[in-house]
Amino acid sequence: MLSALLSHDRPASRLLAALLVAIVVGLAFAPFLFPGAKSLSVAAKILVFIVLVASYDLLLGYTGIVSFAHTMFFGIGAYGVAIALARLGPGWGAVALGVALALALSLVLSFVIGLFSLRVRAIFYAMITLAVAAAFQTLASQLSDLTGGEDGLSFKVPEALTPGFSLADAPFLGVSLDGRLLSYYLLFFAAAALFLVMLRIVNSPFGRVLQAIRENDFRAEALGYRTVVYRTLSNVLGAGFATLAGALLALWLRYNGPDTSLSFEIMLDILLMVVIGGMGTMYGAVVGATLFILAQSYLQDLMRIAGAALGDLPAAGGFLAALLSPDRWLLWLGVLFVLSVYYFPAGIVGRLRARAAAAKP
Amino acid sequence: MEAPAVAPAPEALPKVRTDLLPLLLVPLLALAAAPLVGSFPTWVTLTVAGIAMGLIIFIIASGLTLVFGLMDVLNFGHGVFIALGAFLATTVLGGMADWTASQSLAANLAAIFAAMAVAMAVAGAVGMAFERVIIRPVYGQHLKQILITMGGMIVGEELIKVIWGPQAIPLPLPAALRGAILIGDAAVEKYRIVAVVIGLAVFAAIFWVLSRTKAGLLIRAGVQDREMVEALGYRIRRLFVGVFVAGSALAGLGGVMWGLYQQSVIPQIGAQVNILIFIVIIIGGLGSAGGSFVGALLVGLLANYAGFLAPKVALFSNILLMVLVLLWRPQGLYPVAKR
């Protein structure tokens, strides 16, 4: 039963299995285990990013395509929900309409980009997506009537998801049963379902073809698979799941702007999560997203303390402080990224699986 | 009995037909824009601006496209050298304030050339280190190459922020180069003329090196068929490092010129220009220096015309141009053999 749910793609390492169980249990009972607004937000962010990173892994890890436009699709999903709710007022119909329109736009856009650039060389794709994503980001801030420009859009979500809504008067296990809790569990089950669907996709015959293309596209073509079709499909699928992740993010935040869903920094975060977790395994997305967002949410405070402490030192301390200030967070991310691509290409999941495989006689 | 047939004397190799069609696109675009712009002086102003911008872009793009052609290395970190050049220019020109403030053209140009020399030297040196640390370990692995050079780009940009600060730094033109001169009714900014002259000089130098020197011959041969050149006993790696350093230095030079063109410098300048450069080398055909020249001019001209005629469309004009070119020639204007 469990094996069928996981599409027979088992963690294949006891340590990894334990880690995954811990993450799933932690996320499933986050409101009860870690009460507090900040920890709940962190947990919700982890959920959204698990879906987003898994959808990116479908492209990068399974098909071997580097795209820099993944945040564009993420943003389309978030803006779709945001614009629909801001224009039509809070209601489930507006949410559905926003998601549907965003999904349609993403699918068409990814199909066109894919058809264009994947036809020639996979390397074109990285460059073209970079250009398209940059243009889209500018467009989103230019069309301020629709998107709210740089300020973004704040909007009301359907009433059942607002903090004011309450399921029961008495708190359950010390947690009040309000709309926030409800939206958290909406996110949780949606993310779990989307993740399992993606796990199913990569373990299907279709997914095997994608991996064959990643390993050797020439040979895959020779075996009779039309690689362009498979690459484009993988691209469209990845874009679709990213759009849904964006919609979930907007529903949770009740706000969307360029910095929350479109910025290039998020693209870098996604890349890092995929690489840290392990390219080419869906479980890598879970591990990578969880560890990264925990670090991002709690390590930056540490950096601030370290930077402030060093700031008191004269001369050389000033430069060190500049290096350690929280504004330079991205610098350390970049260094970490380069080092992990060099020395840790299989990521955490790959390492754990290799260890487990080596332990077996 | 007949004597064995004597092999016919080898004929001279058929002359390679130069493909002039893409080159014609540039004047065609300029002429097509003329009736749309309407007034002739405005058209002259826009065209000069477009050519100046195109030449600056070409200076930056030429190194990147050759690096790709020679070793199949696509350097997403190329933008770092542009930003580095531009920021070095702020420091050098800031330090030579007496020279830039004086009304004498010679002193102004000397200051600019000093800035360019420093930018090229530093960018070239950093390029050598970048090649050694970032690129060499991942030769031949496209996926990792893209990821690693992107990582290098981010680290470089952040280091620039650490050194020069994250805010925009103004980079005013030297006194004698400010303002415009009138040619007929058309106002042409002085700096753009300087940019065109320098750009054409660099283009001529690159063209001369590529077509008249042995190193250039080897580079062109290496782009065509790397293994054959290696089999003939040349060390293509060493050649590649040379091209990479030269390309980085040119990006630094382009950064100085771009910074002066914009008259202010922000750390994100590298990433912004990088996108333009990618479009240019895709249009031109990856690996082709001549193609990137045509592509750069097209992008520069179109950006200026579109910015004047329909500012909202200008954002997408480059991407639209790329799509049209790829529809016509899927491998770019000048496809490089074997790619």
Q: Give whichever of A150-154, A311-315, B31-35, B88-92 has the largest mean pLDDT.
A: B88-92
Find residues 124-143 of chain B whose CB sits inside 8 Å of chain A. Answer: 134, 137-138, 142-143
Interface of B with A in 242-301 (CB under 8 A): 271-272, 274-275, 278-279, 282, 286
pLDDT value, residue B296:
94
Q: Which chain B residues touch A134 with a CB distance below 8 Å?
A: 272, 275
What's the CA gap between A229 and A250, in Å, rounded? Answer: 32
Query: What DSSP designation does B5 have?
Result: P
Distance from CA of A185 to the nearest CA of B (A): 35
Q: pLDDT value at position B17?
A: 65
CB burial class (10 A; 0-12, 13-18, 19+) of residue A334?
buried
Quick: pLDDT tens for A22-75: 999 988 888 888 877 888 889 999 999 999 999 999 988 898 888 888 999 999
Q: Is the minimum CB–CB distance between B38 and chain A shorter than 8 Å?
A: no
Give the nearest partner residue to B152 out of A138, A271, A338, using CB atoms: A338
Looking at CA atoms only, how far is residue B11 from chain A in angstroms? 36
Alpha-helical regions (H) of chain B? 21-37, 40-71, 78-95, 97-101, 105-130, 142-164, 190-212, 214-224, 226-231, 236-262, 269-284, 289-309, 311-328
Residue A301 has pLDDT above 80, yes or no: no
Is any Cβ of chain B less than 8 angstroms from the Cβ of A333? yes
B166 closest CB neighbour out of A128, A138, A327: A327
Q: Please, what is the Cα angle at A307 between A306 and A309, to 5 degrees?
A: 65
Residues of chain B with C-beta less than 8 angstroms from the C-beta of A121: 286, 339
Is 1.10.3470 the CATH number for A2-359?
A: yes
Q: How far apart are CA B290 and CA B333, in angstroms?
A: 9
Helices A37-57 and A179-202 cross at an angle (nearest 10°) of 20
Contact B279 A132 (CB under 8 A): no
Distance separating alpha carbons of residues B128 and B67, to the nearest angstrom = 13
DSSP B216-233: HHHHHHHHH-HHHHHHTT
- The verdict on A124 touching B (C-beta cutoff 8 Å) is yes
Q: What is the DSSP string of B84-120?
A: HHHHHHHHHHHHTHHHHHSS-HHHHHHHHHHHHHHHH
Read off the tokens for B28: 């065609």
- CB < 8 Å to A126, chain B: 74, 76, 146
The size of the A-B interface in CB pairs under 8 A is: 96
Residue A360 has pLDDT above 90, yes or no: no
Which residues in A123-161 are b (16+ Cβ under 10 Å) and which e? bbbbbbbbbbbbbbbeebbeeeeebbeeebbebebbeeb
| Residues of chain B neighbouring A327 (CB-CB closer than 8 A) | 161, 166
Using a CB-CB cut-off of 8 Å, the residues of chain A touching B331 are 120
Low-confidence winner among A143-157, A317-331, B68-82 (lowest mean pLDDT): A317-331
pLDDT at A11: 76
Q: Tally the C-alpha atoms within 13 A of residue A236's C-alpha that lie toward its C-beta.
A: 16
H or E segment and range at residue B187: strand B186-189
Within an 8 Å CB–CB cutoff, is residue B318 touching chain A? Answer: yes
**Residues of chain B contacting residue A130, judged by C-beta atoms under 8 Å apart:** 76, 274-275, 278
8 Å CB contact of B278 and A64: no
Render the burial of A210-233: b for 16+ CB within 10 Å, e for the rest. Answer: bebbbeebeebeeeebebbebbbb
Query: What pLDDT does B143 receive?
Result: 80
Q: Give the C-alpha separation, B300 to B47, whole Å.
A: 9
The answer to whether B155 contacts A331, with C-beta atoms less than 8 Å apart, is yes
At residue B214, what is the residue type?
K
Residue B271 tokens read as: 């990433």
Q: What is the rounded (10 degree) CA torsion for A206, A276, B67, B63? A: 120
Q: How far is A148 from chain B (nearest CA, A)?
A: 17
Cβ–Cβ gap B278/A134 under 8 Å = no
DSSP single-letter state for residue A345 = T
pLDDT(A307) > 70? no
Task: Please give the structure tokens belonging to residue B91.
Answer: 């420091």
Angle at A188 between CA A186 and CA A190, to 5 degrees: 65
Res. A320 pLDDT band, cuts 50 70 90: low
Check if B313 contacts A (Cβ < 8 Å): no
**Residue-wise burial string across A273-294, b where 16 or more C-beta atoms lie within 10 A, e elsewhere:** bbbbbbbbbbbbbbbbbbbbbe
The full set of domain ranges for chain A reads: 2-359
pLDDT in tens, A245-258: 999 999 888 888 88
- The predicted structure's pLDDT at residue B1: 45
Cβ–Cβ gap B144/A128 under 8 Å: no
Rounded to a whole number of angstroms, the distance from the CA of A114 to the nearest CA of chain B is 12
Q: At what angle do helices B40-71 and B190-212 cross, to 10 degrees?
A: 30
Nearest-angstrom CA–CA distance, A2 and A7: 9
* Closest CB to B151 among A121, A139, A338: A338
> In residues, how long is chain A?
361
- The pLDDT value recorded for residue B251 is 93
CA A22 vs. chain centroid, Å, equals 20
What are B218's two structure tokens? 């080897």
CB B158 within 8 A of CB B271: no
> Domain spans of chain B?
50-269
β-partners of residue B265 are B169
Nearest to A66 among B143, B312, B316 (CB): B143
Number of DSSP helices (H) and strands (E) in chain A, helices first: 18, 2
Do residue B142 and residue A139 have CB atoms under 8 angstroms apart?
A: no
Apex B322 CA angle, B319 and B328, nearest 5: 145
Q: How far apart are CA B288 and CA B333, in angstroms?
A: 9
**Cβ contact, residue pair B74, A123, below 8 Å:** yes
A61 vs A302, more confident: A61
Q: Which residue in this structure is represented by tokens 């071997």?
A: A64
Least CA distance to B274: which residue of chain A? A131
Specify whether the CB–CB gap between A206 and A7 falls below 8 A: no
Are B319 and A132 an interchain contact pair (Cβ–Cβ within 8 Å)? yes
Q: Considering only the beta carbons, identify the residue of B154, B278, B319 that sits closest to A330.
A: B154
B314: nearest CA in chain A? A135
pLDDT tens readout for residues A238-288:
999 999 999 999 988 888 888 888 888 888 889 889 988 888 888 999 999
Q: Taking Cα atoms as reference points, which of A238, A242, A254 lies closest to residue A74?
A: A242
DSSP type of residue B188: E
CA pair distance A6, A18, nearest whole angstrom: 15
Lookup result for tokens 């607002």: A162
Q: What is the pLDDT of residue A148?
A: 77
**Is the distance from CB of B256 to CB of B88 less than 8 angstroms?**
yes
For A134-162, what is the HEC assignment?
Answer: HHHHHHHHHCHHHHCHHHCEECCCCHHHC
pLDDT of B339: 46
Cα(B201)–Cα(A210) distance, integer angstroms? 48
CA A334 to chain B, closest CA, distance in angstroms equals: 5
Q: What is the C-alpha separation between A211 and A196, in angstroms, rounded?
A: 18
Among B138, B142, B318, beta carbon nearest to A123: B142
Contacts of A304 (CB under 8 A, 6+ apart): A325, A326
Cα–Cα distance measured from residue A293 to residue B73, given in angstroms and rounded to the nearest whole number = 32
* CB atoms B312 and A123 under 8 Å: no
- Higher pLDDT among residues A167 and B34, named by residue: B34
Q: Assess B314–A contact: CB distance below 8 Å, yes or no.
A: no
**Nearest Cα residue to B113 out of B193, B58, B62, B174:** B174
Q: Is A112 on the interface with B (CB under 8 A)?
A: no
pLDDT score recorded for residue A154: 82
User: How far lies A124's CA from each of A67, B282, B286, in Å?
Assistant: 10, 8, 9
Say if residue B222 is exposed, middle or buried (CB neighbours under 10 Å; 0-12, 13-18, 19+): buried
Mean pLDDT by 10 residues, chain B (339 residues): 53 66 84 82 89 92 85 86 93 84 82 92 93 84 84 90 88 82 80 90 89 88 85 88 92 92 88 88 87 92 88 80 84 72
Q: How far is B94 from B91, CA to CA, in rounded Å?
A: 5
Q: Does A175 touch chain B (CB under 8 A)?
A: no
Q: Flag if B323 and A116 touch (Cβ within 8 Å).
A: yes
Q: Cβ of B315 under 8 Å from any chain A Cβ?
A: yes
CA–centroid distance for B55 within its chain: 7
Nearby residues of A37 by Cβ (< 8 Å), 6 or more positions away: none
Size of chain B in residues = 339
Buried b (16+ CB within 10 A) or exposed e, B227-242: eebeeeeeebeebbbe
